[in-house]
Chains A and B, each alone.
Chain A
């Protein structure tokens, strides 16, 4: 689980507001090498904001974010990022391999060509996600699931030590999701992973720790949901409220001591 091993992400007393609305309040979180952390929370809970703080796309108004001991923007080479899919137009005129190559673009190297070595690495990354046969297709010809794999190859091509994914399964069907989480589980043998999702069932995949975000953050070093987390996600409910029974059942299913299937 990475206890006692090197901390690769440390978030200390971080607060972030947007237009005077507080999105995240006094967040503390650390991720160790080898972790597979799921950050769950409802829509608008600040989980994507938290991910963008780790990426250095946003700067916290209070507190400090360190990745590999540095400011996030200084270590962008070591972070692989899988954004929410609708960030781009699927009909953009670009081939599969060129999308993957964009994962190697950096502020230092200029010019209009990618080197033979870079092309080789892009093919390697496409092989990792089983999309090698599609390298010269235009992305508009791909299905949602195939496109998702290309986007993951783009994140993997720079051989990152940390992979950050934002709602990666929204365009994948149930069966595909199962394969996808297994795939991430295999990747986790060599890469630390942080995945953001609104789906609490992610707890029953191969994640090793869970954080619940809804302005505040609760962390569990095991793949389980605690009573506090459920309260954070769904609010406190009176005993007579039907939600209370449902929450109790959820707690049963997603807490420690649950039967591993």
Chain B
């Protein structure tokens, strides 16, 4: 493993894992406690439309995808606030429409697109330095926004009606949260791919949530879990020549089921003893 770290692509991969892990921890925690998992799934698949658009127009992929996903998330935020009882349907429609839009654009783009698979399954081993800088910038923005509005996010996540009654601008915060989710989703797509983005956004926060006493600690713990999964997944991927995205998620999933089973059995034993 040590000699692997002397390669540039491996250093970049580790850096990408850490940067994506930080975003996962912060945004994933907010997504999980606000029950926006399905919505982030919708955003993730809509992102594919952005990828298609970038290839079709010949624009740089990461900024274009971020811009496209950001706009999609804002539309979702507005629609879900206008029609709260239709949220799941609308997310489902945008989910499918974004995907189809992306595929059609890629179909009519001339030439063979090698990079396509990397957006489905991630390409952490091929992250250029320029993308790392963008990811770092986005991490800093997310961190600043969440620190500045931490109390408001906490109030909104815990009890929306009460927060609104206290004068917290819940509507704006909700839009900001969805925008940050969009940005994080695009970042995580880089690392583990579109298909697996939900796992990395939900498993670390789930593991983190059980024993922490605050949302802030949950974010830190979730970020650490994410980084751990990325490191172990990368190692396995390098040693056994497995797709990196899949091995990162496999690692997270094994951990998830392990903890889940351990807790279920421990609870049974505890009940049996009483």
A residues sitting closer than 8 Å to B (CB atoms) are: 52, 55-57, 73, 76-77, 79, 81, 83, 87-89, 92-95, 98-99, 102-103, 105-107, 109-112, 114, 136, 138, 154
Across-interface contacts of A105 in B (CB, < 8 A): 151-152, 154-155, 163, 166, 168
Tell whether B148 is near chain A: CB-to-CB under 8 Å: yes
CB < 8 Å A-B pair total: 89
Q: Which residues of A contact B158 (CB under 8 A)?
A: 88, 92, 94, 99, 102
Interchain CA distance A56-B213 in the complex, whole Å: 32
The reply to whether A103 and B161 form a contact with Cβ atoms under 8 Å apart is: no
A-B contact pairs, 27 of them (CB 8 A): A52-B161, A76-B166, A76-B167, A81-B165, A83-B165, A88-B158, A92-B157, A92-B158, A94-B154, A94-B213, A95-B213, A98-B214, A102-B151, A102-B154, A102-B158, A102-B159, A102-B163, A103-B166, A106-B168, A107-B167, A107-B169, A109-B151, A110-B149, A111-B148, A111-B151, A112-B216, A136-B213
B208 → A minimal CB distance (Å): 8
**In the assembled complex, B267 has its CB within 8 A of some CB on chain A:** no
Expressed in whole angstroms, the minimum distance between the Cβ of B214 and any Cβ of chain A is 6
In the assembled complex, the CB of A111 is this many whole angstroms from the nearest CB of chain B, namely: 7
A55 to B212, CA, bound (A): 33
Closest 6 pairs (CB-CB, A-B): A112-B150, A107-B167, A76-B167, A88-B159, A81-B165, A105-B155
The residue that B33 contacts in the complex, of A77, A93, A95, with Cβ under 8 A, is A93
The residue of chain B having its C-beta at the shortest distance from the C-beta of A107 within the complex is: B167
Q: Which residues between 227 and 246 of chain B lie within 8 Å of chain A, taking CB atoms?
A: none
CB distance from B170 to the nearest CB of A (A): 10
Q: How far apart are A201's CB and chain B's nearest CB, in angstroms?
A: 26
Chain B residue nearest to A77 (CB atoms) is B167
A83 touches B159 (CB 8 A): yes
Contact A57:B152 (CB < 8 A) given known A98-B214, A103-B166:
no
Q: A76-B167, A102-B155, A110-B148 are in contact. Are A93 and B214 (CB under 8 A)?
A: yes
Chain A residues near B183 (CB, 8 Å)?
Answer: none
Chain A residues with CB under 8 A of B168: 105-107
The interface residues of chain B lying within 8 Å CB-to-CB of A98 are: 154, 214
Q: Name the contact of A57 in the complex, choosing from B149, B157, B164, B213 (C-beta under 8 A).
A: B164
In the complex formed, the residue of A with least CB distance to B33 is: A92
Name the A residues within 8 Å of B133 (CB-CB).
Answer: none
Q: How far is the CB of B106 from chain A (nearest CB, A)?
A: 41
Closest chain-B Cβ to A161's Cβ sits at a distance in Å of: 15
Mark B146-186 against chain A: 1 for CB-CB distance below 8 A, else 0: 01111110110111111111111100000000000000000
Chain B residues in 8 Å Cβ range of A136: 213
Q: Are A55 and B165 in contact (CB under 8 A)?
A: yes
A83→B162 contact, CB < 8 A? yes
Interface residue from B151, B162, B164 paired with A112 (Cβ < 8 Å): B151
Smallest CB-CB separation from B160: which chain A residue?
A87
